[in-house]
Amino acid sequence: MNRSFTLRCFSCRHQYGFTLWVSSLYPQEYKTCIKDIRTGKYGTEWQELFLKERSFAVDARETLYLCHNCRDWDIQPSLAAYLPKSEGKPVFSEKGAKPSGPVEFVSPEQLREMYLYKSYPHPCKRCGSRMKRANTEHLLFLTCPRCGAENEVLTVIDWGE
Ligand SMILES: [Zn+2]
Ligand SMILES: [Zn+2]
């Protein structure tokens, strides 16, 4: 599902929007995402998972996350780790794989054929709580990136699958 939003701050009238979609650049984004995971950008747990087990695939789609504690929010790749169903539980190789090795691209459609091994625990940058994936109802809880006040939702557009 592709989705785009426009919001406007009740207080300072700042208008902003974002689009969450899978573009033709997604294979490149996927590779960058795997590279970032393997270099430790998203913490040691994910780094080790993706270095030790080559068959892990990632959901690299940009997703909206909201902190239910302090209401900070962010758009980040989902980073959920998937494994092929046929392989069952992961078997970690002893030596591990080289981070420089080729990355096999797995599309969002292919992910549906795999099983979810673990969701990434997106920590809030402000308070450290685990952020949750936001749906349309949560848009009302987003705070203005300029002044922190409440927003009104002007448009939500869905297209594609
Ligand atoms: Zn927070
Ligand atoms: Zn504002």
User: Closest-lying ligand to the alpha carbon of 148?
Assistant: 2
User: Closest-lying ligand to the alpha carbon of 73?
Assistant: 1
| Res 67 pLDDT > 80 | yes
Give residue limits of the domains in the chain: 2-159
pLDDT digits (tens, 9 = 90+) for 32-41: 999 999 999 9
Q: 4-34: b or e for each residue (b if 16 or more CB lie within 10 Å)?
A: ebbbebeeeeeeeeeeeebeeebeeebeebb
| Res 153 pLDDT > 70 | yes
pLDDT digits (tens, 9 = 90+) for 106-137: 999 999 989 999 999 999 999 999 999 998 88
User: Alpha-carbon distance 6 to 110, whole Å?
Assistant: 30
User: Closest-lying ligand to the alpha carbon of 126?
Assistant: 1
Distance 127 CA to ligand 1 centre (A): 4
Q: What number of helices (H) and strands (E) belong to the chain?
A: 3, 9
User: Closest-lying ligand to the alpha carbon of 16?
Assistant: 2
| Res 99 pLDDT > 80 | no
Distance 68 CA to ligand 1 centre (A): 7
Distance 115 CA to ligand 1 centre (A): 29
Q: Are 65 and 126 in contact (CB under 8 A)?
A: no
